[in-house]
Amino acid sequence: MYDFLIIGCGFAGSVLAERLADEGKKILIVDKRNHIAGNAYDYYNKEGILIHKYGPHIFHTNSEDVFKYLSKFTEWRPYEHRVLGSVDGQLVPIPINLTTINKLYGKNLTSDEVVDFLASKAEVRKPVLTSEDVVLNVVGKELYEKFFRGYTKKQWNLDPSDLDASVTARVPTRTNSDDRYFTDSLQAMPKNGYTEMFQKMLSHENIHIMLNTNYKDIVNIIPHKKLIYTGPIDDYFDYKFGKLPYRSIDFKFETLDQEDYQQTGTINYPTSNLYTRITEFKHLTGQKHHKTTIVYEYPTADGDPYYPIPRKENQEIYNQYKKLADETENVYFTGRLGTYKYYNMDQVVAQSLALFRKIIKEEDAAQQ
């Protein structure tokens, strides 16, 4: 009899498995894929280059607790991600900053001057409801067209005017020349990769791992007291209220017989090409190798569920599933797919640590 059957070996499932095993609980963790680490899975390709199977994963957080927790399973390599955008035949920093504006407009503005420059371009929108409103409000039509409209259309197959404000609200505009993609206080990559970190997390005598297994094939056979589910919530309930829409990505990897390909980790193509961006892994991992591997990202409607599509009508479908989930005894729904919300890795770790505390509290209360 297992205390917990955990579905999904990504961050959500693995953190809970580790924490609960440490409390003496017997755990079976199951994944339908042939590997652990969920979407953070990385491996050495046949040329010996460390790549991320499900697209570039860059770790960044403001949570010291999350960083301290993960540090039990890995050492870190300091890394701050930088992104350039290919716009008007030039490579300019993304998010838009002082350098971006000066380069694009051939100017030499100071930080104070760029504030006025952007204010002169901005188109005030009230109320701010959509992703288009957010951007027009800050940078105006011209920069919106150059940086946001085409990219958003490719990424989501939706015009920004049809997308929740939250999507572009994630992207800042800076009036200084900070060209880091993220500004979190802690930014680093696991020194030997994510998969090794997960191996350490899951190597506990109380944890059994079962890969290549859809939980539906075993859930009624393997005795367990409670279930933790980190797969898609609509799938759990057999799509009773309809399918929750996701955006997927086709990753095309290319290994080149040259040491370097591009000057920074990622280059975005907001208006040209069918792909959104190209990432060169060696920038992220720091690996030295005489060859290099890059990945092109082609957003698609079909494929693995990656990005929940943040629209009101989808949230309403999710709320129906959530209600049912809350009524389902002895099953916890968590993670990006279990709660239909785009979370970064650190947010999923924080969510799992919080759920762990809740479960322990419940168990303690039940014993009294």
Q: Give yes or no for residue 70 binding ligand FAD (CB under 6 A).
A: no
Give the range of 26-34, 123-131, 138-146, 159-167 binding ligand FAD by CB under 6 A: 26-34
Member of 165, 348, 355, 359 binding ligand FAD (CB under 6 A): 348
**Window contacting ligand FAD (CB under 6 A); options: 71-79, 259-267, 268-276, 344-352:** 344-352
Shortest distance (Å) from residue 308 CB to ligand FAD: 10
What 3-state class would DSSP assign to 299?
strand
Contact between 253 and ligand FAD per CB under 6 A? no
The sign of the torsion formed by the CA atoms of 194, 9, 212, 307 equals negative
> What three-state secondary structure class fits 244?
coil
> Which of 178, 343, 353, 363 touches ligand FAD by CB under 6 A?
343
Contacts of 264 (CB under 8 A, 6+ apart): 82, 83, 84, 283
| Residue 31 touching ligand FAD (CB under 6 A) | yes
Task: Provide the minimum distance between the beta carbon of 339 and ligand FAD in the complex, in angstroms, as a whole number.
Answer: 8
Site for ligand FAD in 189-228 (CB under 6 A): 214-215
Cβ–Cβ under 8 Å, residues 94 and 84:
yes
Is residue 355 a contact point for ligand FAD (CB under 6 A)?
no
Count the residues in the chain: 368
Q: Which string of x and - marks every residue 5-24 that binds ligand FAD (by CB under 6 A)?
A: --xxxxxxx-----------
- Name the nearest CA neighbour of 268 among 60, 96, 74: 96
Number of residues that bind ligand FAD (CB under 6 A): 33
Closest CA to 349 of 164, 24, 73: 73
Nearer Cβ to ligand FAD (6/98) = 6
Binding status of residue 98 toward ligand FAD by CB under 6 A: no
Q: Which residues of 103-131 are buried (b: 16+ CB within 10 A; e: fewer)?
A: ebeeeebeeeebeebbeebbeebeebebb
Residue 295 near ligand FAD by CB under 6 A: no
Give the residue from 129, 115, 206 showing the smallest Cα distance to 163. Answer: 129
Distance in angstroms (rounded) separating the CA atoms of residues 72 and 121:
48
By CB under 6 A, which span of 31-39, 42-50, 83-91, 144-152 interacts with ligand FAD?
A: 31-39
* Helix pair angle (131-143, 111-121), 10° resolution: 110
Cβ pair 32, 212 in contact under 8 A: yes
- Of residues 3, 45, 55, 331, which one binds ligand FAD by CB under 6 A? 55
Please report how close the Cβ of residue 105 comes to ligand FAD at its closest, in angstroms: 30
Q: How far is 358 from 363, CA to CA, in rounded Å? A: 9
Count of Cβ atoms closer than 10 Å to residue 20 Cβ = 24
Q: Is 335 in the site for ligand FAD (CB under 6 A)?
A: yes
**68 vs 107, which CB is nearer to ligand FAD?**
68
Residue ranges binding ligand FAD (CB under 6 A)? 7-13, 30-33, 38-40, 54-58, 214-215, 230-231, 249, 306, 335-337, 343-346, 348
